[in-house]
């Protein structure tokens, strides 16, 4: 499954790396692509192992506001 997320609060490539690392720590993540200019991320994942809500929670725990779009 692939979901798109709006991510607010990122200002640099370090922020992008922090979000990518937080999401990649979760089981079932296949691919994470974060676009700093658009303040968005696309995550491809195995929905039997992780939910969009858990992904959003990981982004929030990393310090950024997010929502599934």
Asked whether 64 and 8 are in contact (CB, 8 A), the reply is: yes
Average pLDDT for runs of 10 along the chain of length 69? 97 97 98 97 98 98 96
2-68 CATH: 3.30.70.100
Of the candidates 42, 32, 37, the residue with the CA atom closest to the CA atom of residue 10:
37
pTM of the model: 0.94
**Which positions ≥6 away from 39 have C-beta within 8 Å?**
6, 7, 8, 10
pLDDT of residue 29: 98
Of the candidates 65, 35, 68, the residue with the CA atom closest to the CA atom of residue 52:
68
Of the candidates 61, 1, 4, the residue with the CA atom closest to the CA atom of residue 38:
4
């Amino acid at each position: 499954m692939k979901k798109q997320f709006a991510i607010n609060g990122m200002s640099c490539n370090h922020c992008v790396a922090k979000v990518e690392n937080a999401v990649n720590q979760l089981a079932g993540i296949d691919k994470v692509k974060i676009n700093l200019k658009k303040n968005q991320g696309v995550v491809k994942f195995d929905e039997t192992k992780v939910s969009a809500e858990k992904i959003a929670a990981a982004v929030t725990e990393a310090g950024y506001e997010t929502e599934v779009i």
